[in-house]
Amino acid sequence: MSKHVFKRAGFLAATVGIAGLLSAGVASAHVTANVYGPQPSKGGYGAIFFRVPNEEKDAGTVKVEITVKPEYALSSVRAKPVPGWKAEVVKSKLPAPVTTASGTQITEAVSKVSWTAEPGTKIAAGSTEFQEFQISAGQFPTNVDAIEFPATQTYENGKVVEWNQPTPASGEEPEHPAPTVKLAEKTADGHGGGHGTDAKASEESHAASSSSDNTARWLGGAGLVVGALGLGVGAGATLRARRATAVSGKSDTEGK
């Protein structure tokens, strides 16, 4: 086999290895708001899962705080307990009364939801772990197509990261996007989702989503292994090509 074939093989193997490593990269580590199952509807209720990854290499996340805008007037928000984390739901008086889709006038609504890590608990440093914090909330507003939940992430070293930038109409994601949930239109009967109906469906779908996430993580790990093997094969092929070239050159010299 000629030295050109060896060089070509080495180049192709190295390219495959690098592509494998890049394709297996970890997804953008943003705080996101997720819904599993039917999308919450305007004027309805639903469960929202805030997924919090860790971006600091040397510090873990010890507190997550979600801000609820006063114009949403969410009077009912419940936080699902998470082992090792203390949840707190804070209500505040609204600047002006808000009338909900059902005709109820709201003067006080939830303004903050936070989860604080207890001693010995944190989202570990690095990008290999995440935690999900769930709320069940409503009634959602009827005059917007999506609701934003600006989030504050606090690390054990004191660093605070704000996830509060709205996504522009162009759809280009900002550096620190605010967790956002789209709202579906009201159902045919003119009402939003019933109390707990959307939330229950969302929770039931979460198990399936978690399973898919685990599969994706396994595939990502497999991609890293394949990429590393590709780089190894490429390096080996390159070395063999160099040796073959050296031997060929030596033989040519001796022949002369």
For 28-182, the fitting CATH number among 2.60.40.10, 2.60.40.2230, 3.30.420.40, 3.30.43.10 is 2.60.40.2230
Percent of the chain scoring above 90 in pLDDT: 53
Q: What pLDDT is recorded for position 240?
A: 60
Q: What pLDDT is recorded for position 241?
A: 54
Domain ranges of the chain: 28-182
pLDDT at position 119 over 60: yes
What's the whole-number mean pLDDT along residues 135-159? 96
pLDDT digit string (tens) for 16-58? 343 333 333 334 579 999 999 999 999 999 999 999 999 999 9
Q: What pLDDT is recorded for position 169?
A: 85
Task: Collect all residues with Cβ–Cβ distance below 8 Å to 136 and sequence separation of at least 6.
Answer: 45, 46, 47, 48, 76, 77, 78, 80, 196, 199
pLDDT at position 217 over 60: no
Q: Which has more confidence, 196 or 94?
A: 94
pLDDT at position 221 over 70: no
- The pTM for the full model equals 0.67
The CA distance from 205 to 40, in Å, is 13
Instruction: Give the torsion through C-alpha atoms of 137, 142, 144, 149, to 10 deg.
Output: -10
pLDDT digit string (tens) for 60-83? 999 999 999 999 999 999 999 999
Q: What pLDDT is recorded for position 102?
A: 77
Given CA atoms 106, 107, 111, 117 in this order, what sign does their dihedral have? negative
Of 46-60, 127-141, 224-238, which range is least confident? 224-238
Backbone angles phi, psi at 93, to 5 degrees: -75, 135
Task: Collect all residues with Cβ–Cβ distance below 8 Å to 188 and sequence separation of at least 6.
Answer: none
Buried b (16+ CB within 10 A) or exposed e, 73-88: bbbebebeebeebebe
pLDDT at position 145 over 80: yes
